């Protein structure tokens, strides 16, 4: 008789965003008039058109697929060299960071890679996550059997939660305990916080001391606006010996529905067996990708490559500028409403303390029912997120201005 | 200190196709003149242009992504309803098979799904595979820790190998032993064999008796030409209680480089916990896909949908007819060469006994060096494949005719 993976039964309720979708649908079904003025600032999904440079490249690639001579079948599972080189050159070497093209693995999403990376790691690691946390880090560890059961606040036994709060500016401090694998996400989802160079240096020093692995999620790197904030963990000396970096085209190139991302696994990165033998992780990830993945569509990789053209870079800059203009409007509205707010400066997310001691889900329901605005309840990201909510700046300018007006009306 | 997944260290050599690529590259580097006349019949990769209906749909989708109104961000992780419905209707209900659209999960590849399906299964299952076998079934189980070490013939301890031979027409007999999970692949890769209705009925009866799970890989379903051969495991009564089916657009629509496939998980399919509780697998796979996957590119899903249009169906039929015409030529060449041959009638693969008692890799080297034709050594698919090789019919007509001539020359 077939046995199932019982770890799945430990997962609490739905994954956060499906749960939000369920509540929004119930509200809209019951209130068809209010549904018409609904504005979604919940899920962090881009709204603006795919850049022209990308569309041009994809049209060309579709045409290539129509001729025997230029047709492309199976591509390299790791990604086409044209894209791996564009990434290594533009995102790293142009900034003085040492990353070779064969350390870049092109994939269909950072969410996927953040989950799949566990395939090559062992079962006895002590796993640390920031709290609040992007739920995928936690849920994939639950599924892999790296945790115990959840308690009533949703925290799983066996995980080391690193509390983030107003006191530490929502950047986790290096803990006293040893961890073997640490998830870091900067600019942070959900809080919008960024780590300074000194803070990342402390994390690299911690990792090197404990021979720990940092899983560095830089999906929102393009939103960093302040000088001096590192864009890549590899800006920190020693990171090539302790860190994997995840990046995505979702939020810079608007690829959430087009699907392309990449993960950097330096060849200098080692991990150990139970008996203490050291092995590089690069061949393991390479083997994982060639056995369980078949590469990103050729057409999509050509689209991603176009983001690095002169036109592409300029179109990406315009997108970022649009969304960060939104963030500024939302920040000012929160300040005017007397709602303490973080983020929105180096990230497309604002992290807001709920007024009047409301819980996160109470605030979610209030925003939905009274303002017809969808936000994300902070407690959905972990117990340290209780009492906060996230507003996404991914929207049209008109919608964001309307949200700002409704926030003002709500607090009158 | 970070621990790695030691199961990866059990994996033997490279995955088969990278190993072939390595040998071919070494030969071509050493023999630049011969390299010019090299014909690849190794990896089963399509060669003909992407159907016009697909390209038209993809161009349209690329244009949609250029407007705010029609732009698509994150889609449903399970696939867009337009594609799930087209699949359920055309591949199943039109043939009298009960499959609902929400039992269809659109993915980026059957190889991926065949590996990822292990995420939702437990660690104590007895796993059975046919021998010869598509290597991904075995390697992903090795990675997941479901096997012991490999022996000198490449067989892993802990797996139940079901021998396929000339005696059983390369269709595994139902074993005397109990298995919990059984991989079946028909039309078969690599042997090109198909299972009759009676043979599949025996497998479903076996699965229901043992409450086992059948993982039915039907990626080559479109190549079945003989009447009466089941195209889907769900043609067999009872299969909705014991089988998951994998299908792909790679080999019918020419999507190997465009990436789209799907997996059917019936809601009536159950598996057990260690303590004997029964749970449906559908919500587990749904949770897996929504947590570790973000859907197939919208543009690609529109391309896949177009395969079900009248033009698309006709263009797919032309592709299949082309490749099966190739298979016929290769079969006749093998017969003329006095090489015993199987497959090539309901599948794009021919399975050929090596002449003169050569091993599979000896035959690979001989075909490479003397005929400058790349084939796939049978032993790469498991020890029961020793003494055979696979020829792929995926090629241009001119190349296939030339391969037939070289086979004749080789045996003169």
pLDDT in tens, A83-126: 999 999 999 999 999 999 999 999 999 999 999 999 999 999 99
Cis peptide before B256 (omega within 30 of 0): no
Distance CA B195, CA B187 (A): 7
Q: Does position B8 have pLDDT exceeding 70, yes or no?
A: yes
Note whether A63 contacts B71, CB cutoff 8 Å: no
Residue contact A2–B181, C-beta within 8 A: yes
Q: In this structure, are residues B48 and A65 in contact, taking their beta carbons and an 8 Å threshold? A: no
Q: Are B405 and B160 in contact (CB under 8 A)?
A: no
Question: Measured between alpha carbons, how far is A291 from B159 in angstroms, rounded to an integer?
Answer: 18
Report the distance separating Cα A58 and Cα B299, nearest Å.
Answer: 10
Residue with tokens 């309803």: B81
CB contact under 8 A, B71 and A50: yes
- Torsion angle, CA of A349/A351/A354/A358, rounded to 10 degrees? 80
Long-range contacts of B282-289 (CB under 8 A, 24+ apart): B282/B103, B284/A4, B284/A5, B284/A8, B284/B120, B285/B105, B285/B117, B285/B120, B286/B78, B286/B105, B287/A8, B287/A11, B287/A15, B288/A8, B288/A143, B288/B116, B288/B119, B288/B120, B289/B77, B289/B78, B289/B105, B289/B107
Helix or strand or coil: residue B146?
coil
Of A210, A151, A154, A214, the C-alpha closest to A183 is A214
Do A307 and A253 meet the contact criterion of CB atoms below 8 Å apart?
Answer: yes
Verify whether the Cβ–Cβ distance B50 to A59 is below 8 Å: no
pLDDT digit string (tens) for A363-375? 999 999 999 999 9
CB A46 within 8 A of CB B54: no
Order the strands of the B104-107 sheet from edge to edge: B104-107, B261-264, B243-248, B213-217, B181-185, B127-131, B159-163
Smallest Cβ distance to A3: which of B50, B74, B180? B180
Which of A51, A73, A280, A374 to probe the B interface (max B CBs under 10 A)? A73
Give backbone dihedrals phi and psi of B241, rounded to 5 degrees, phi first: -95, -5
Q: What average pLDDT does the segment B232-253 reach?
A: 98
Residue A16's pLDDT band, with cuts at 50, 70 and 90, is confident
Q: Would you call B212 and A139 a contact, using CB atoms and an 8 Å cutoff?
A: no
Residues A279, A273 contacting (CB under 8 angstroms) = yes
Q: What number of CA atoms fall less than 13 Å from residue B221's CA on the CB side?
A: 22
What H or E segment, with its residue span, contains residue A316? helix A310-336
- Phi, psi (5° rounding) for residue A349? -115, 140
Nearest CA in chain A to B136: A291
| Chain B hits for A59, Cβ within 8 Å | 59, 62
Asked if A139's CB is within 8 angstroms of B291's CB, the reply is yes
Reported as a single tens digit per residue, the pLDDT across A288-345 is 999 999 999 999 999 999 999 999 999 999 999 999 999 999 999 999 999 999 999 9
Q: Write the residue in A122, A211, A257 that is nearest to B74 by C-beta.
A: A257
Q: What percent of chain B has pLDDT over 70?
A: 99
Residue with tokens 């607090």: A411
Q: How many C-beta atoms lie closer than 10 Å to residue B157's C-beta? A: 10
Bridge partners of B272, per DSSP, are A3, B278
pLDDT at B13: 64
- CB contact at 8 A, B394 and B325: no
Q: Which of B40-44, B227-231, B235-239, B364-368 has the lowest mean pLDDT?
A: B40-44
Chain B residues with CB under 8 Å of A49 CB are 65-68, 71
Checking if the pLDDT of A18 tops 80, the result is no
Confidence of residue A21 (pLDDT cuts 50, 70, 90): confident
pLDDT of A14 strictly over 80: no
Distance CA B125, CA B129 (A): 13
How far is residue B375 from each of residues B153, B344, B372, B378, B380, measured CA to CA in Å? 20, 15, 10, 9, 11
Mean pLDDT of B199-203: 98
Contacts of B116 in chain A (CB under 8 A): 292
Check B136 against A292: CB less than 8 A apart.
Answer: yes
pLDDT at A15 over 90: no
Q: pLDDT per residue over A41-54, tens digit each?
A: 988 899 999 999 99
Residue B2 and residue A124: Cβ atoms within 8 Å? Answer: no
| pLDDT at res. B321 | 98
Burial of B149 (C-beta count, 10 Å sphere; 0-12/13-18/19+): exposed
**Nearest CA-CA distance, residue A39 and chain B, Å:** 15
CB contact under 8 A, B65 and A55: yes
Any idea of the CA torsion for A259, A264, A267, A270, to the nearest 10 degrees? -110
Question: Who among B72, B122, B257 is closest to A74 (CB)?
Answer: B257
Partners of residue A247 on adjacent β-strands: A262
Q: Which tokens hold the place of A403?
A: 């949200």
Distance CA A363, CA A209 (A): 42
Nearest CB neighbour to A2, from listed B65, B140, B271: B271
How close B182 gets to chain A, by Cα (Å)?
A: 10
Instruction: Please judge whether B109 and A212 are an interchain contact, meaning their C-beta atoms are less than 8 angstroms apart.
Output: no
Which residues of chain B does A396 touch, with a Cβ-Cβ cutoff of 8 Å? 68
N-term to C-term CA, chain B = 62
Tell if the CB–CB gap between A293 and B111 is shorter than 8 Å: yes
**What pLDDT digit, counting tens, does each position of B82-126 carry?**
999 999 999 999 999 999 999 999 999 999 999 999 999 999 999
Complex ipTM: 0.97
What gap in Å lies between CA A348 and CA A256, rounded to an integer? 15
C-beta atoms of A124 and B180 within 8 A? no
**Which of B67, B116, B299 is nearest residue A292 as measured by Cβ atoms?**
B116
Distance from CA of B334 to the nearest CA of A (A): 27
Residues of B in contact with A19 (CB under 8 A): none
Express as a percent the part of chain A with pLDDT over 90. Answer: 94
Instruction: Give the DSSP letter string of B40-86.
Output: E-SS----SPPPHHHHHHHHHHHHHTTSTTT---S--TT--HHHHHH
- Number of helices (H), then strands (E), in chain B: 12, 15
CA-based nearest residue to B61, from A257, A240, A292, A120? A257
3-class DSSP assignment, residue A170: coil
Contacts of B139 in chain A (CB under 8 A): 291
Q: Could you report the per-residue pLDDT of A228-272, keeping only the tens digit for each?
A: 999 999 999 999 999 999 999 999 999 999 999 999 999 999 999
Q: Do A274 and B72 touch (CB under 8 A)?
A: no
Q: List CB contacts (< 8 A) between B52 and chain A.
A: 66
In chain A, count H helices and then E strands.
12, 15
Residue B114's SS3 state is helix
Q: What is the pLDDT of residue B411?
A: 86
Choose, out of A291, A392, A398, the residue to mutate when testing the contact with B (most B CBs < 10 Å). A291
CA B238, distance to chain mean position in Å, is 23
**Helix, strand, coil content of chain B in percent (nearest 5):** 45, 15, 40
In the prediction, which pLDDT does B132 show?
96
Quote the mean pLDDT of chain A.
96
Q: Of all residues in chain A, what percent carry a pLDDT higher than 70?
A: 99
Choose the closest CB to A18 out of B48, B52, B290.
B290
Closest CA to B180 of B215, B212, B205: B212
Q: What is the pLDDT of residue A12?
A: 79
Q: What is the pLDDT of residues A141-174, one digit of tens each?
A: 999 999 999 988 889 999 999 999 999 999 999 9
Mutate to test the interface with A, among B257, B258, B289, B394 (most CBs of A within 10 A): B257
Query: Under the phi-then-psi rule, with left for phi > 0, alpha for psi from -120 to 50, and beta for the rest, what region is A63?
Result: alpha
Rounded-to-integer distance, Cα B206 and Cα B214, Å? 10
The domains found in chain B, sorted by start residue, are: 13-49+311-410 (3.90.1150.10), 55-309 (3.40.640.10)
Do residue A125 and residue B3 have CB atoms under 8 angstroms apart?
Answer: yes
- Put simply, the answer to whether B212 touches A1 (Cβ < 8 Å) is yes
């Amino acid at each position: 008789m077939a046995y199932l993976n019982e770890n799945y039964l430990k997962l609490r309720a739905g994954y956060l965003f499906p749960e939000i979708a369920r509540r929004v649908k119930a509200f809209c079904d019951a209130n068809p008039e209010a549904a018409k003025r609904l504005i979604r600032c919940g899920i962090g999904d881009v709204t603006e058109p795919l850049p022209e440079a990308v569309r041009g490249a994809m049209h060309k690639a579709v045409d290539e697929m129509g001729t025997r001579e230029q047709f492309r079948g199976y591509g390299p599972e790791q990604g086409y060299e044209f894209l791996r080189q564009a990434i290594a050159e533009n995102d790293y070497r142009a900034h003085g960071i040492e990353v070779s093209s064969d350390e870049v693995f092109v994939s269909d999403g950072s969410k996927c890679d953040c989950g799949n990376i566990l395939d090559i790691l062992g079962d006895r690691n002590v796993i640390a996550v920031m709290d609040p946390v992007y739920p995928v880090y936690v849920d994939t560890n639950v599924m892999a059997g790296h945790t115990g059961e959840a308690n009533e606040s949703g925290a799983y036994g066996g995980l080391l939660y690193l509390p983030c709060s107003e006191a530490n500016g929502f950047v986790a401090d290096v803990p006293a305990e040893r961890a073997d694998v640490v998830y870091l996400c900067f600019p942070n989802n959900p809080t919008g916080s960024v780590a300074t160079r000194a803070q990342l240096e402390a994390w690299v020093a911690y990792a090197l001391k404990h021979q720990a692995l940092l899983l560095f999620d830089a999906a929102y790197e393009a939103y960093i606006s302040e000088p001096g904030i590192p864009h890549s963990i590899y800006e920190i000396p020693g990171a090539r010996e302790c860190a994997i970096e995840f990046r995505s085209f979702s939020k810079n190139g608007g690829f959430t529905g087009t699907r392309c991302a990449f993960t950097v696994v330096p060849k200098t990165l080692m991990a150990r067996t139970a008996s203490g033998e050291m092995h590089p992780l690069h061949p393991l990830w390479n083997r994982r990708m060639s056995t369980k993945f078949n590469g990103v569509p050729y057409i999509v990789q050509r689209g991603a490559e176009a983001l690095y053209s002169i036109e592409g870079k300029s179109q990406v800059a315009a997108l970022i500028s649009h969304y960060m203009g939104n963030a500024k409007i939302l920040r000012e509205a929160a300040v005017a409403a007397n709602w303490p707010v973080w983020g929105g400066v180096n990230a497309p997310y604002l992290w807001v303390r709920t007024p009047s001691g409301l819980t996160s889900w109470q605030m979610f329901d209030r925003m939905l029912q009274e303002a017809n605005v969808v936000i994300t309840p902070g407690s959905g990201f972990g117990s340290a997120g209780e009492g906060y909510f996230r507003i996404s700046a991914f929207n049209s300018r008109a919608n964001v201005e309307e949200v700002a007006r409704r926030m003002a009306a709500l607090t009158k």
